[in-house]
Amino acid sequence: MSEETKVTSTETAAPAAARAERPARPFGKKRFESRRKVCKVCAEKIDNVDYKNFQFVKSFTMESGKILSRRITGTCAKHQRQITKAIKRDRNLAILPYSLPKK
């Protein structure tokens, strides 16, 4: 009985010691760098997004024709609204695609 208890005590003690010996995680070091997203429309000082500027508007769409979300592009709410409107106008005018067929 006494031996069994001894074994269990050593078993529990060993991993604890190993945990203590393991080097600490490098907190505070460069694990990932968060880059600040800047609204492209604000940066270029465009006050109103124009549907005729389709080359610029196109940069906010995916290759498949989907509109990229604000989360991805980092545009501000005001300009995202203007961009979506411009994209939808361009789609209606057949300047931009609604979708592209899958290859």
- Regarding 76 and contact with Zn ion (CB under 5 A), the answer is yes
What backbone torsions phi and psi does residue 101 show, to the nearest 5 degrees? -65, 140
Please check whether residue 90 is in contact with residue 52, taking contact to mean a CB–CB distance below 8 angstroms.
no
d(CA 43, CA 10): 63
From the list 6-14, 21-29, 33-41, 57-65, the region that binds Zn ion by CB under 5 A is 33-41
Taking the complex as a whole, the smallest distance from the CB of residue 77 to Zn ion amounts, in Å, to 8
- Regarding 95 and contact with Zn ion (CB under 5 A), the answer is no
What backbone torsions phi and psi does residue 67 show, to the nearest 5 degrees? -80, 130
By rule CB under 5 A, what count of residues binds Zn ion? Answer: 5
What backbone torsions phi and psi does residue 13 show, to the nearest 5 degrees? -75, -35
From the list 18-26, 46-54, 74-82, 89-97, the region that binds Zn ion by CB under 5 A is 74-82
What is the token pair recorded at 41?
């429309």
Taking the complex as a whole, the smallest distance from the CB of residue 33 to Zn ion amounts, in Å, to 23
Strand partners, 67: 61
Stretch 38-57 residues interacting with Zn ion (CB under 5 A): 39, 41-42
Give the interface with Zn ion as residue ranges (CB under 5 A). 39, 41-42, 76, 79
